[in-house]
Amino acid sequence: MIEPMITAWKQERVARSATGDPGSCDLREVVNAIFYQNRTGCQWRYLPHDFPAWSAVFYCFGLWREDGLDQRIQELLRCQVRERARRLEDPSLVIIDTQSVRAAAGVPKTTTGLDANKKVSGRKRGLAVDVLGLIIGVVVLAASAHDNAAGTALLDQAAERCGMRLEKALVDQGLKDEVLIHGALLDIEVEVVRRNPEDQGKGFVPQPKRWIVEQVNGTLMLHRRLTREYDHRPDTSASRVYWASIANMARRLTTPAPTWRDTLRLAA
């Protein structure tokens, strides 16, 4: 599923790295190496030797990030997953949320900050997802940035990728009037989902629809490279979210859908 897009990219851009021509690498193994590092959280130099040279993998990763190939692959697979679920390619509803992630040692202070509300020093990762939990947009900012900055950027991404079909966005109480006004300018209704006063003191209570983005954040944490902010560049961190999403969707698409016979067998 991924090979045609990478082959097309290879035909358009053939570049040479310090260790040789990256076009001579097995690009499927390069993708496998990116998946492996994302999942295990190892450093570039600690990639197993049965993968291509770490410098070639790093070089291809950087090229694909700069060319936006990771986003195009993610968009292609997202459309396929939605079609498999018998839905239109683009959603009419997105759910937006932010998460503050601690930064590892060595991450530049110029790209990080302190989230005074959550007492987290690092970066703020914002996601826009549909009702199937598929990622529509990603933004990575310093943790000191207000949620409004992430919300407006995510609305712009969602409007660009979903077009006129996008009608509504659900956000939490941390987003203020600025996001609602920006959504109105984009012809998107922004609804703030507020907690039920009766749920006060009960800890985490799933909120209708809004729990989906929380579930996506939890799924991304299974990719150990995303549990902290290890990358110096915020766009590299965003690219890792796309690659984690690509790995999850590729697994969903290659796993056979259960038939009614399988359902009866499990029930028995």
- The pLDDT assigned to 80 comes to 94
* Residue with the larger pLDDT of the pair 198 and 138: 138
Give domain status of residue 212, yes or no.
Answer: yes
- The pLDDT assigned to 20 comes to 44
Strands (E) across 86-151 are located at: 93-102, 113-115, 120-129, 135-142
What 3-state DSSP class applies to 137?
A: strand
Give domain status of residue 249, yes or no.
Answer: no
| Whole-number Å distance between alpha carbons of 173 and 191 | 10
Contact 60, 31 (CB under 8 A): no
Reported as a pLDDT band with limits 50, 70 and 90, residue 264 is low
- The pLDDT assigned to 259 comes to 61
Q: Quick one: 109 and 57 in the same domain?
A: no
Q: Quick one: 131 and 200 in the same domain?
A: yes
CB-based contacts of 251: which residues, under 8 Å, 6+ apart?
A: none
Give domain status of residue 7, yes or no.
Answer: yes
* Partners of residue 20 on adjacent β-strands: 17
- Whether the CA torsion 139, 179, 81, 255 is positive or negative: it is positive
DSSP strand pairing (113-115 vs 120-129): antiparallel
Give domain status of residue 84, yes or no.
Answer: no
- The pLDDT assigned to 175 comes to 80
Q: Quick one: 108 and 48 in the same domain?
A: no
What's the CA angle centered on 233, arms 136 and 149, to 5 degrees?
50
**What DSSP designation does 41 have?**
-
Q: Quick one: 14 and 63 in the same domain?
A: yes
Q: Once rounded to an integer, what is the mean pLDDT over residues 228-235?
A: 94
User: If you search the block for the tokens 């021509």, which residue do you land on?
Assistant: 21
Give domain status of residue 107, yes or no.
Answer: yes
CA dihedral 119, 125, 130, 135 (to 10 degrees): -150
Output the DSSP codes for 177-193. HHHHHHHHHTT-EEEE-
- 92-130 burial: b if 16+ Cβ within 10 Å, else e: ebbbbbbbbbebeeebeeebbbebeeeebbbbbbbbbbb
Q: Once rounded to an integer, what is the mean pLDDT over residues 232-261?
A: 88
- The pLDDT assigned to 17 comes to 47
Domain's final residue, options 52, 67, 82: 67
Each residue's pLDDT tens digit, 34-73:
999 999 999 999 999 999 999 999 999 999 999 999 999 9
- The pLDDT assigned to 25 comes to 80
Q: Quick one: 212 and 115 in the same domain?
A: yes
- The pLDDT assigned to 156 comes to 95
Q: Quick one: 25 and 110 in the same domain?
A: no
Q: Quick one: 210 and 170 in the same domain?
A: yes
Give domain status of residue 243, yes or no.
Answer: no
Give domain status of residue 254, yes or no.
Answer: no
Q: Quick one: 151 and 32 in the same domain?
A: no
Contact 135, 252 (CB under 8 A): no
Q: Quick one: 150 and 206 in the same domain?
A: yes
Contact 166, 90 (CB under 8 A): yes
Reported as a pLDDT band with limits 50, 70 and 90, residue 194 is confident
State pTM to two decimals: 0.87
* CATH code for position 101: 3.30.420
Domain range for 52 is 3-67
* Residue with the larger pLDDT of the pair 77 and 172: 77
Picking from 167, 86, 71, the residue whose alpha carbon sits closest to that of residue 132 is 86
Q: Quick one: 63 and 104 in the same domain?
A: no
Give domain status of residue 24, yes or no.
Answer: yes
Q: Quick one: 127 and 212 in the same domain?
A: yes
- 239-243 own/partner pairs: CB under 8 Å, 24+ apart: 239/61, 239/64, 239/65, 239/70, 240/38, 241/125, 241/127, 241/135, 241/138, 241/140, 242/70, 242/71, 242/73, 242/74, 242/135, 242/138, 243/34, 243/35, 243/38, 243/70
Total domains, the chain: 2
Mean pLDDT highest for which of 135-139, 160-164, 217-221? 135-139
Each residue's pLDDT tens digit, 103-128:
998 899 999 999 988 889 999 999 99
| Whole-number Å distance between alpha carbons of 142 and 112 | 4
- The pLDDT assigned to 9 comes to 87
Q: Quick one: 95 and 222 in the same domain?
A: yes
